[in-house]
Amino acid sequence: NRRSRGRPMKQRLLVVANRLPVSAVRRGEDSWYLEVSAGGLVSALLGVKDVDARWIGWAGVNVPDEVGQRALTKALAEKRCIPVFLDEEIAHQYYNGYCNNILWPLFHYLGLPQEDRLATTRSFQSQFDAYKRANNMFADVVNKHYQEGDVVWCHDYHLMFLPKCLKEYNSKMKVGWFLHTPFPSSEIHRTLPSRSELLRSVLAADLVGFHTYDYARHFVSACTRILGLEGTPEGVEDQGKLTRVAAFPIGIDSDRFKRALELPAVKEHVNELTHRFAGRKVMLGVDRLDMIKGIPQKILAFEKFLEENPSWRDKVVLLQIAVPTRTDVPEYQKLTSQVHEIVGRINGRFGTLTAVPIHHLDRSLDFHALCALYAVTDVALVTSLRDGMNLVSYEFVACQGSKKGVLILSEFAGAAQSLGAGALLVNPWNITEVAASIGYALNMSPDEREKRHRHNYAHVTTHTAQDWAETFVSELNDTVVEAQLRTRQ
Ligand code: ADQ
């Protein structure tokens, strides 16, 4: 076993992410209510063997007083979480500003903000300064809790400056960084005013990971074209120091879904839904309400399908579940009203007194309700304009043991690279093509559905979140071991 070579059985892993996997609500001066959110990352890390994981991140609340900070730190310690406290102004400039107004749209090919988008926060430079300051505050906390032999795994575009800060504290710290979004073509990345500084900071890590080989390749080209460094098959080399760059496609905890489908309450919910939509095929979309998810494009394609196929109008229903996010950002508010307006128009056009073609819910569903919905779905529709991976497509496949429903999947989601052979791949911008795929999916023969499903199911159940986390941590350990060997020679 390469991972346990010369190391204690339980290696400490410090997972650093913008948000802790816990929501904190203040109950009194020194009392907090905590709710653990069982996201994909949490279950992925629970499954990693021989690792003792701790979380470092922002609790998502402003706690200006010391009494509150001390109480929250103590409460979080029981959940193996360590908070980073950011004051309101830095949090705003760093999180709403640089992360969500600049990096998120840029990495999804939506470009840099125009004047009006910049005007909603402060200037680009002050946002970048706040980003660096916030990353430094994360680094202070990591450094305070770091013990020799720990590995540090930094997550996502919020923390691109962190590897550099950490290595400046301690060059022997083993640092990995993983990006959950796409890394765009170097031609897009080079428009970013702080393009070089960010690349250099990420390169300070020992291992840099992406969901797909394409994103890794884009990152290496950005380093060669923008920084003039040398790309090698292993990664990027700068004055003899190699930063390993590789693809680590994430997965889900598919057993968790399988187990949920066996629960009596979930089975009952499946029966209720089956009864409720009897005589109609069910199509499903589950997304965060974000421009990258292509929700208006999806609904317009569904409209086109209904327009061209009158015989299907009372035989199919689209359930679109969209969790609102970043609700204080004007563009997200605009997207919400745009979606409502389109849904209203289509329901007015094709609805009857007793049925409407689209059920749109603006909210989050609990895990069991989500599993039941996936299980009764005939066709899932994922039309992201860009998406790092897209776990909804994996979750749908995991819940389709008996139904063998069809997945229509955007070719711009990372998942297209792993589920492409089983799914119907589409260009979400081409509404005519998506509408035709909806028709194809609804009319697909049971044999073809079975064959396509078998392919995807095998992938989803064998490339799990646990494998993903284990492989990354194992490679991170090996990278450092190799670096140490080189110095010893
Ligand atoms: P997200 O953009 O959040 O993640 P995705 O991978 O689809 O996108 O994960 C969304 C998660 O939220 C899923 O687990 C899904 O079940 C849940 N969810 C979505 N809508 C919901 C609803 N209405 N109710 C309840 N739950 C809902 C980012 C990147 C992705 C990348 C992941 C992981 O943008 O591309 O796949 O990180 O790396």
Per-residue tens of pLDDT for the chain, all 489 residues: 344 455 556 889 999 999 999 989 999 989 999 988 766 677 777 767 778 999 999 988 999 999 999 999 999 999 999 999 999 999 999 998 999 989 999 999 998 887 555 555 457 888 999 999 999 999 999 999 999 999 999 999 999 999 999 999 999 999 999 999 999 999 999 999 999 999 999 999 999 999 999 999 999 999 999 999 999 999 999 988 999 999 999 999 999 999 999 999 999 999 999 999 999 999 999 999 999 999 999 999 999 999 999 999 999 999 999 988 888 788 889 999 999 999 999 999 999 988 899 999 998 899 999 999 999 999 999 999 999 999 999 999 999 988 999 999 999 999 999 999 999 999 999 999 999 999 999 999 999 999 999 999 999 999 999 999 999 999 999 986 445 555 544
d(CA 461, CA 256): 11
With tokens 């310690």, the residue in question is 77
Determine whether the shortest distance from the Cβ of 392 to ligand 1 is under 6 A.
yes
Q: Which amino acid, 440?
A: Y
Would the pTM count as exceeding 0.90? yes
Determine whether the shortest distance from the Cβ of 370 to ligand 1 is under 6 A.
yes
**CB atoms closer than 10 angstroms to residue 355:** 15
Q: Which atom of ligand 1 is nearest to the CA of 252?
A: 14
Strand, coil or helix: 151 = strand
The CA 392 to ligand 1 mean position distance, Å, reads 6
ipTM above 0.95, yes or no: yes
d(CA 409, CA 169): 44
The CA 373 to ligand 1 mean position distance, Å, reads 15
CA distances in angstroms from 285 to 70, 372, 376, listed in the order given = 42, 14, 13
Beta strands in 276-412 (DSSP E): 281-289, 316-324, 358-361, 379-382, 406-410
Q: State the Rg of the chain over Cα.
A: 23
Determine whether the shortest distance from the Cβ of 326 to ligand 1 is under 6 A.
no
d(CA 409, CA 340): 23
The CA 39 to ligand 1 mean position distance, Å, reads 9
Are the CB atoms for 330 and 120 separated by under 8 Å? Answer: yes
Residue of 24, 484, 485, 472 lying closest to 249 (CA atoms): 472
Determine whether the shortest distance from the Cβ of 209 to ligand 1 is under 6 A.
no
